[in-house]
Structure 1
């Protein structure tokens, strides 16, 4: 599925890949519409329809992920509202074992996320995820989302890499397709990003897994283990 022997760098999406996408889905589809409805004297379902329509109009752009943009558009403190649900922020299954395996294998791990810096900080405070990877880059630092193929060239400024020896792991097929178009050698899709929802269908050309336990054996077999790094459990 993945040739781990050829890799030097593993780029990792955060939401839906390392962290359970349930937090974000619940926020945008349930919590935010409810708060917006309360603020504007609307029925929650009508507020939800309006917000989803606005969000989908920005799909594939940096605004889609921008907390500042949505705070302005909706006249609400998006980061503050997200903090109300911070207890829902958590790891996906087997993430600890996976990140530990990457370190033991001597691979550089870098989170490459479309998450805005404000909710990113909230999630890092809640999970301590930044302690277990070699770096974190938000697309907001580069002014374009991962769906833009130009993002990957600009990424060299913040996280230098060799495309031929790099793997990108993400739950978004458009992002993975963008990475492939930009020359990233290998991609891996995540089919079960939200613990409360059914898994997605596989991509016809990109290898996919439901959870990281499906690749642990291959990493152990293909890469020498020479480094230990204690990580939090998935309990």
Structure 2
């Protein structure tokens, strides 16, 4: 599934890969419409009918992920509203074990996320995730989302890497397809990003897992080789 021996760098998505996507789905589909309805004196359903098509129209663009954009467009403090449900932020199953195994394997681990810096800071504060990886890059630093193949070239300016020895792990098929087009040698898809929803269908051309326990044995084997145990 993954050729660990050929790697020196592992790029990791955050939301839906390391962290439970339930937080984000609950916020955009439930909490934001409820608070928007209160603010503008609408019914919850009226708010959903107005907001969700507007949000979905930006899918795949940097605006989709940008809290500044949505705060201005909706005249609401999106980051503040996210903090209201911050107790829902949490790790996906087996993630901490996986990150620990990455550390002992000698591989460089870099979070490469489309998350805006403001909610990113909230999630890092809640999880302590920054201490478990070597670096974190938000696509907002580069002005384009991971879905754009040019993102991967620009990423070299922030965290240099070799395409032929890099793995990208993500729950987004469009992102993984973009990475492959940009020459990333290996990709791995996560099929169960939201703990409150069932898994998705597998991608026909990209190796897929439900949880990281499926790749932990092989990664730990590399770790034991690298440490001589």
TM-score by length of 1: 0.95
Superposition pairs of residues 48-59 of structure 1, within 5 angstroms:
48-59=48-59
**How big is each residue's C-alpha offset from its partner over 1:122-149, in whole Å with a ceiling of 9 and x where there is no partner?**
0000000000100000000000000000
Report the RMSD for the aligned CA atoms in angstroms: 1.0
Superposition pairs of residues 31-46 of structure 1, within 5 angstroms:
31-46=31-46
> Is 1:145 equivalent to 2:138 in the alignment?
no
1:233 corresponds in structure 2 to none
Q: For residues 35 and 210 of structure 1, what CA distance do their matches in structure 2 show?
A: 33
Superposition pairs of residues 13-162 of structure 1, within 5 angstroms:
13-162=13-162
Q: For residues 190 and 49 of structure 1, what CA distance do their matches in structure 2 show?
A: 29
Name structure 1 gaps, 5 residues minimum. Answer: 228-235
Q: For residues 221 and 68 of structure 1, what CA distance do their matches in structure 2 show?
A: 44
Aligned length: 227
SS of alignment partner, residue 215 of structure 2: helix
**How big is each residue's C-alpha offset from its partner over 1:85-104, in whole Å with a ceiling of 9 and x where there is no partner?**
11110000000110011111
**4+ aligned runs moved over 6 Å, structure 1:** none
TM-score by length of 2: 0.97
2:210 corresponds in structure 1 to 210
How far is the alpha carbon of 1:115 from its aligned partner?
0.2
Which deviates more from structure 2 when the two are superposed, residues 50-59 or residues 63-72? Answer: 50-59
1:181 corresponds in structure 2 to 181
How far is the alpha carbon of 1:225 from its aligned partner?
4.4
Name structure 2 gaps, 5 residues minimum. Answer: none
Q: For residues 58 and 17 of structure 1, what CA distance do their matches in structure 2 show?
A: 21
SS of alignment partner, residue 98 of structure 1: helix
